[in-house]
Amino acid sequence: MMLVTLSCSLALCLVYVFYKFIDQRRSKSCYILHYECFKPSNDRKLSTEFSVDLINKCKNLGIEEHRFLLRTLVSSGIGEETYAPRNILSKGDTLASLSDCQSEMDEFSIETLDTLFSLSGVSPQDIDILVVNVSGMTLVPSLTSRIINHYKMRDDIKSFNISGMGCSASLISINLVQNMFKIHKNKLALVLTSEAIAPNWYNGKERSMILTNCLFRCGGCSILLTNKPALQKLAMFKLKCLVRTHLGSCDEAHICCMQKEDDQGHIGFFLGKTLPKTATRGLTENLRSIAPKILPLSAIFRYVLLVNIQKFRAKYLHNMAKKRVNMNFKSGVDHFCLHPGGKAVIEGVKRSLVLTEEDVEPSRMTLHRFGNTSASGLWYVLGYMEAKMRLKKGDRVLMIGFGSGFKCNSCMWEVLRNLDDKNVWADCVDKFPPKLPIYPASRNMNGF
């Protein structure tokens, strides 16, 4: 009888330990319940013709700077319906006031959060963790405090205000929430990702700094996440893994993209000539870390085998012709969500990962429709995939983002159900991809 009792007790203990193990793994998971991209009002659209007029009115620019900017606009890949700050459009004022900056952020955060709370059924008082990342602006009180005050959130909410992280900040915020979920069970988190364009419009004539005026546009996204097992069935995505790479110890990488002051005292963002090289290095390092986490063993084995065969040929057969060996990322990834930072960025990643035009279409179309919206750009790309009804249950989405510092971050999302919401793309997704992209700036070159 005692033996039976001991056996039963041991069995119950094993069942309990197994249950706790499974429960802990479930509670540490990170799910996206909903995300809402910001679509500014139509009166904030920045057409190419208006951009040309803005350039022509700039007294600091010489004839060569005018030519450079116009050529950049024509070849940027950015379309006619991107959005700019109100102070640029309504007043033609490139020097933003504090009120302009606050209004830009409030408009984005309130509109996206109102929609998110309405569609998800979650109350602002249910939020346990709040993370906001806006790189180029710091307010006192912080942006998180403004949101907490506006929605009268709980006193015990854990808030984080992240700045200075550049275009890679979105996945850094997700990583912060992921780590918080490992410590705290059954929580709801909000991530708001955007960039302040109004205070960072460059008024000088340095070519390496004036590029940002051509590329960066207004946008943002609010993301609702949870680790509650009870909400798993309502979730859209599950985070499988996330890898962050930081090349900040290298001087060349550290200064290739940074905020600085030109010789005339104008503050802006400097984009160095070594940026493409640094981005390639960051991507290589990052993919080396995430590949074993997302690819099947067969793909990794094939890659290692081919690399060693190539080394053997070079060493013993004196075959110096080096053929590039590529890792087959498509064996473990169904969709590629790439940072729409510019045509060169998209083309560089496409070449590095040996992707097709269809693979990079979401990023190209996001750049065309919304421009480079900094850290929030990845979510517009994801929204395009969803609006095109390409995301099916079980699909794997690889997100890759770049940022100053220099940083390259990536993560893998698993799609938990078929997704078909038209979201921010609702009024235009059927027009994309356009058969013949037209850039009216080419008609305004006037000999340039």
Distant-in-sequence, close-in-space partners of 279: CB < 8 Å, separation ≥ 6: 345, 348, 402, 406, 408
Residue 230 DSSP label = G
Annotated active-site residue 246? The verdict is yes
- Selecting among 87, 372, 409, 444, the annotated active-site residue is 372
- Of 203, 257, 339, 423, which is the active-site residue? 339
Is 167 in the active site? Answer: yes
Q: Is 179 a catalytic residue?
A: no
Active site residue 372: yes
Q: Which residue among the candidates 30, 167, 218, 221 is catalytic per the annotation?
A: 167
> Can 66 be counted among the known catalytic residues?
no
The single residue of 368, 411, 423, 444 carrying the catalytic annotation is 368
**Taking Cα atoms as reference points, which of 345, 373, 365, 367 lies closest to residue 167?**
373
Active-site residue, from 37, 213, 335, 408? 335
The radius of gyration computed from the CA coordinates of the chain, to the nearest angstrom, equals 24
Place of tokens 């991107």: 82
Cα three-residue angle 132-135-136, rounded to 5 degrees: 130
- Rounded to an integer, what distance in angstroms lies between the CA atom of residue 397 and that of residue 384? 13
Catalytic residue among 133, 200, 218, 246: 246
E strand spans, 315-428? 335-338, 396-403, 407-415
Q: Is 87 annotated in the active site?
A: no
Q: What are phi and psi of 128, to 5 degrees?
A: -100, -30
CB 87 within 8 A of CB 97: yes
Phi and psi at residue 162, in whole multiples of 5°? Answer: -105, 130
Question: For residue 197, what are the CA distances in angstroms to 47, 154, 376?
Answer: 16, 30, 13
Point out the residues that are catalytic.
167, 246, 335, 339, 368, 372
